Amino acid sequence: MRSMPGLTSALIAVVLVAGCSSSRTDSGPTPNGTVTVFAASSLKNTFTELGAQFEKDHPGTEVTFNFAGSADLVAQLSQGAPADVFASADTRNMTRAVDGGLVAGQPADFASNTLTIVTPPGNPRGITSFGDLTRPGTQVVVCAPQVPCGSAAERVEEAAGATLTPVSEESAVADVLGKVTSGQADAGLVYVTDAVAAGDRVTEIAFPESGVAANTYPIAALAGSRNPDAAQQFMALVTGPQGREVLSAAGFGPP
């Protein structure tokens, strides 16, 4: 019976080790339920892929998305739209969300993107430079100034010393791309990632001035989140190695 104290101590040690080995302190609580992500429209393909990966890695979770222009998303959130995560196509709209008390914690930059010119296949107007977009009769479509891709377009105009006269200003970069692929415009300014996703539906014309207007993409958990654990872990996926791989394959640069 004198050996019992030693045996008790050994049993306690085993229990403690087992408890430590079964805990998930390295990755946080196991997420479950629905996580709602508000994301810039230029993230649709990559985030849809990452959402599917998240659901596969965490059975019992469901990722739902609302893709739109970043300014529209901030407006929806400000009006009380329920969401867990916000991913913006620029820091300006994320700052608006932070200043409005919508964000919990600090946003994390996870990607960057630059503008490029797209035309219908074969480039029927023979556009070779940004300046060519100002030629009389050229129907150009851009994003509205309050949208990140529109703000970037304004910076490019300034750098190139060329002023565009667009026939349409869209609220999301996806709409600009749609105008070009449907033949309603001779050219449009979209992100490199949109041109990559469009494939042979467009012809891409890169231009050097685009480098002055690279957009940084931040992501943040939202203060009104109903599923903060899942929100944090979805952010970890986006900002981690898997997210970087998916984003890089789509044409996104590092933050």
In a domain? residue 9:
no
Total number of residues shown for the chain: 255
In a domain? residue 41:
yes
Q: 186-226, pLDDT tens digit by residue?
A: 999 999 999 999 999 999 999 999 988 899 999 999 999 99
For residue 238, the model assigns a pLDDT of: 98
Q: 45-81, pLDDT tens digit by residue?
A: 999 999 999 999 999 999 999 999 999 999 999 999 9
In a domain? residue 141:
yes
Is residue 42 marked as binding?
yes
Query: Which of the pair, 56 or 32, is modelled with greater confidence?
Result: 56
Q: 89-133, pLDDT tens digit by residue?
A: 999 999 999 999 999 999 999 999 999 999 999 999 999 999 999
Based on the domain organization, do 83 and 102 belong to the same domain?
yes
Query: Which of the pair, 91 or 5, is modelled with greater confidence?
Result: 91
For residue 113, the model assigns a pLDDT of: 95
Residue range of the domain that includes 43? 33-113+215-249
Based on the domain organization, do 101 and 177 belong to the same domain?
no
Based on the domain organization, do 79 and 192 belong to the same domain?
no
Residues 220, 103: contact at Cβ < 8 Å?
A: yes
Distance CA 136, CA 121 (A): 21
Based on the domain organization, do 65 and 191 belong to the same domain?
no
Instruction: Write the secondary structure of the chain as one string of H (helix), E (strand) and C (coil).
Output: CCCHHHHHHHHHHHHHHHHHHHCCCCCCCCCCEEEEEEEEHHHHHHHHHHHHHHHHHCCCEEEEEEEECHHHHHHHHHCCCCCCEEECCCHHHHHHHHHCCCEEEEEEEEEEECEEEEECCCCCCCCCCCHHHHCCCCCEEEECCCCHHHHHHHHHHHHHCCCCCCCEEECCHHHHHHHHHCCCCCEEEEEHHHHHHHHHHCEEECCHHHHHHCEEEEEEEECCCCCHHHHHHHHHHHHCHHHHHHHHHCCCECC
Q: Is the pLDDT of residue 16 over 70?
A: no
Is residue 23 marked as binding?
no
The type of residue at 52 is A
Based on the domain organization, do 70 and 188 belong to the same domain?
no
Q: Is the pLDDT of residue 22 over 70?
A: no
In a domain? residue 84:
yes
Is residue 78 marked as binding?
no
- If one counts the domains in the chain, the total is 2
Sheet holding 215-222, edge to edge: 61-68, 33-40, 85-87, 215-222, 103-113
Is residue 217 marked as binding?
no
